[in-house]
Amino acid sequence: MARPFMMGAVAYAPKVVTIWEGFKEYFRRHDFEFDYILYSNYERQVEAQFDGGIDLAWNSPLAWVRADRMARTRNLEAHALAMRDSDRDLTSVLVVRSNSSVEGESNLTALSGQVIGFGAVDSPQANLIPRDYLRRRGLFPNRDYTARRFDELSGKHGDHIGGERDAAVALMKGEIDAAWMIDSNYLAFSREGILPAGVTRIVARSGNYDHCNFTVISGLSSVTDEMAVHFTELLLAMRWQDSQVRPLLELEGLKEWFPGRTSGYELLVRSVDDEKFYDAEGNILVADYRY
Amino acid sequence: MMRKEIFLLPIIDIENLGLDAGAHLLIKYGLREIQPGGQLSVVGNCPGWEAQLSAWCRSQGHGISLSQQDGRPVVTVTRGNADAGRWHDAEHTGLSDLGMNGAVMDKALSSWGLAARGAMVEAGSPDIYFRLDRKDEVWAETASALYAQAVAAQWNPDVAIDWNEPFNLPDAVEDAVAQLMTYLIENEVAALVVPARFLGQLHPHFREIQSLLAIQVADEARHIEVFTRRLKLKGREPALSTAGGQASLKTLLDEPDFSIAGFLLSVLGEGTFVSLLNFLHAHAPDPVTRQIAHLAARDEARHVAFGMSHLLWRLQQEPQFRTRLANSVQSRNDALASTAGLNEEVFDTLILIAAGKFTPQAIAAGYVRVQQLIVDMAEGRRIRLERLGFEKEEAIHLAALHTRNFM
């Protein structure tokens, strides 16, 4: 048997096994040996890619930032091979109860003295990018507002949306005054009835950012580089119309794979620096981060 | 809600409605009016509607772009093809209306699963296997009409039967009625279980047959209820159940072929039971038993009609199937050759019921009536067999081979 192309993914929920078993089957049907290793957190996964444990990583945006920094430090190059259509141009929204004194982006100073709910410390969408958004508008935690963190499964980089959901629940209970979440989770929590229609408002919205990508580190091994090309071809050939493939795409939350791009990580990179999450070499700086 | 603007893109104004409150429906229906790749514009007033729309479009595979028009944000949505893609290779499953050509397919596919007949089924739906998936092995042209009759003829035992009508039978006669009810119940259990088993094996595509089997099962449940209530009306418990009787019924349960089972159970068995129930309607010693017998006979006659209709249809498609029907009667007779046949207690009960009292003259008259019943039953079977296309001699022969247990 040919050496399989080894992918790392983070086990943020049980469905992850179903998803990657399905992908494994798909690639085998196309005579491409593919296998995967599940990690309990993105930090170990990123490190494993440089230790040669995996060829490819299904990385969160934050994991991408770290991998990119670690690669540069080693004179290597990280590449984003592909991403989901749903990974592009996400935004995070700040949600308040309808009776809030905050009307919109024009009077965010009304947040002064209020309690804002954030997601896990390592969540790009519910912590890092939102903090960046507020900082750029002159709002700092402890000084201008009280940050309350809803940590759920640290090390998963916010993939588990439990933190955002807990914040939404706390918002409705009146325990906090505002909560950050991905725009799509605002709709999801509305469908779940956690945020009843008409009872909340969006008062702020971050700039666009991208989410996950398949990362390879080029230059580590020529075999890996060749297999990465083949892998990408097969991945991009997956079609929503194909009834064998569609269930996998539905589980993974996409309609179509797109070629990877790295232009959508600027907001996050800025926040990682400002928040001192990683240093320029990809070392973890943030103190209260357990994974 | 949708209007043409000067730049010719259709535009939807969701006004104050957010996508957290149902606005996606307006956009979804608007997008249905345009082809994949086509565009429409959306404007709104709800705080953060652009973020909501952006998230919704991302999840649906539609593209978006934001612009300003008259100082107002306008989102242009480009319809993706994911929605259409889901129905690529979807399967058609006939038509719901029996009156339309091609409504019922000759073979129903397991990939259609539980879908309503006529629905479009997404490719990749799970296979749900139903053994009875060919029209020729289950169909009856009158099924729809018989089902409608059955629905209209359902009766409520509490209302339809006067349980309080006073009567008092001699102990021996009441005991005989209890024995008769015990016998009727076990026969009706067989008449319930046989269609119920086929019901679970029948492809739902054959909806009319499914409905008819289901209501037939409900009929039998009601019969079991009223026979049990009559049995207990004067404080009796069920009496005797014989090995021969159960062996005869077991041959019905063991028959795997839908048509043959219907032939043996409905055409021959329940047909014979109609004669028995009519006999009880005429001669039973108490008013409650007479009412029950009358109502049950009406239901059973419908079951017979379904069996006949199905067999006539099947024989039309496959005339040589008649040989298998004849063989099945012979085989059942052979299988039951070593059994005692009708419960002797039941036979004596019928005589006693037809006699009405314990005098030699009355019993002599009762005996003659039961003999006549047996002759009438065989004659009924002969007539139905001839209607199925058997020659008279063969019909007489087969009618006589039918189980002595009646069902």
Residues B238 and B344 in one domain: yes
Chain A residue numbers touching B59 (CB-CB < 8 A)? 86, 184, 187, 253
Q: Which CATH number characterizes residue B224's domain?
A: 1.10.620.20
Structural domain contains residue B297:
yes
pLDDT of residue B6: 47
For the stretch A88-113, pLDDT in tens is: 999 999 999 999 999 999 999 999 99
pLDDT of residue B340: 67
Residues B363 and B219 in one domain: yes
Q: Which CATH number characterizes residue B67's domain?
A: 3.30.110.40
What is the C-alpha to C-alpha distance for residues A256 and A246, in angstroms, rounded to an integer?
Answer: 10
Q: Which of B183, B338, B327 lies closest to B255 in space, CA to CA?
A: B327
B88 with A241: Cβ contact below 8 A: yes
Reduced to 3 states, what is the DSSP secondary structure of residue A86? Answer: helix
Looking at the complex, does the CB of residue A25 fall below 8 Å from at least one CB of chain B?
no
Structural domain contains residue B252:
yes
Looking at the complex, does the CB of residue B48 fall below 8 Å from at least one CB of chain A?
yes
Residues B228 and B180 in one domain: yes
Q: Which of A103, A283, A131, A278 lies closest to A203 in space, CA to CA?
A: A103
A186 with B123: Cβ contact below 8 A: no
Q: Is the Cα dihedral B311, B315, B318, B320 positive or negative?
A: positive
B52 with A255: Cβ contact below 8 A: no
Structural domain contains residue B309:
yes
Structural domain contains residue B406:
no
Residues B190 and B63 in one domain: no
pLDDT of residue B3: 52
What is the C-alpha to C-alpha distance for residues B141 and B145, in angstroms, rounded to an integer?
Answer: 9
User: What number of C-beta contacts closer than 8 Å exist between A and B?
Assistant: 85
What is the C-alpha to C-alpha distance for residues B346 and B179, in angstroms, rounded to an integer?
Answer: 7
pLDDT of residue A224: 80
Residues B26 and B108 in one domain: no
Residues B57 and B179 in one domain: no
Other C-beta atoms lying within 10 Å of the C-beta of residue A246: 21
pLDDT of residue B343: 66
Residues B191 and B68 in one domain: no
Residues B122 and B141 in one domain: no
Q: Which of B83, B111, B145 is at the close of a domain?
A: B83
The list of chain A residues with pLDDT below 50 reads none
The list of chain B residues with pLDDT below 50 reads 1, 4-6
Pairing of β A56-59 and β A213-218: antiparallel
Looking at the complex, does the CB of residue B21 fall below 8 Å from at least one CB of chain A?
yes
ipTM passes above 0.90: no
Reduced to 3 states, what is the DSSP secondary structure of residue B83? Answer: helix
Structural domain contains residue B260:
yes
Domains and CATH numbers, chain A: 5-87+211-274 (3.40.190.10), 92-205 (3.40.190.10)
Contacts of A101 (CB under 8 A, 6+ apart): A110
Which residue in the block uniquely carries the two structure tokens 């036979």? Answer: B347
pLDDT of residue B355: 87
Structural domain contains residue B380:
yes
pLDDT of residue B403: 79
For the stretch A136-184, pLDDT in tens is: 999 999 999 999 999 877 899 988 888 899 999 999 999 999 999 999 9
pLDDT of residue A3: 85
Residues B272 and B394 in one domain: yes
pLDDT above 90 covers a percentage of chain A that reads: 88
What is the C-alpha to C-alpha distance for residues A177 and A219, in angstroms, rounded to an integer?
Answer: 49
Domain that holds residue B181: 135-401
Residues B58 and B24 in one domain: yes
Q: How many domains does chain B have?
A: 3
Looking at the complex, does the CB of residue B82 fall below 8 Å from at least one CB of chain A?
yes
Residues B168 and B20 in one domain: no
Residues B209 and B310 in one domain: yes
Looking at the complex, does the CB of residue A203 fall below 8 Å from at least one CB of chain B?
yes
pLDDT of residue A162: 87
B59 with A184: Cβ contact below 8 A: yes
B48 with A205: Cβ contact below 8 A: yes
Instruction: Tell which A residues from 222 to 281 touch B, by Cβ distance under 8 Å.
Output: 239-241, 243-244, 246-247, 253, 255-256
pLDDT of residue B337: 81
pTM of the predicted model as reported, rounded to 2 decimal places: 0.83
Instruction: Tell which B residues from 107 to 146 touch A, by Cβ distance under 8 Å.
Output: 122-124
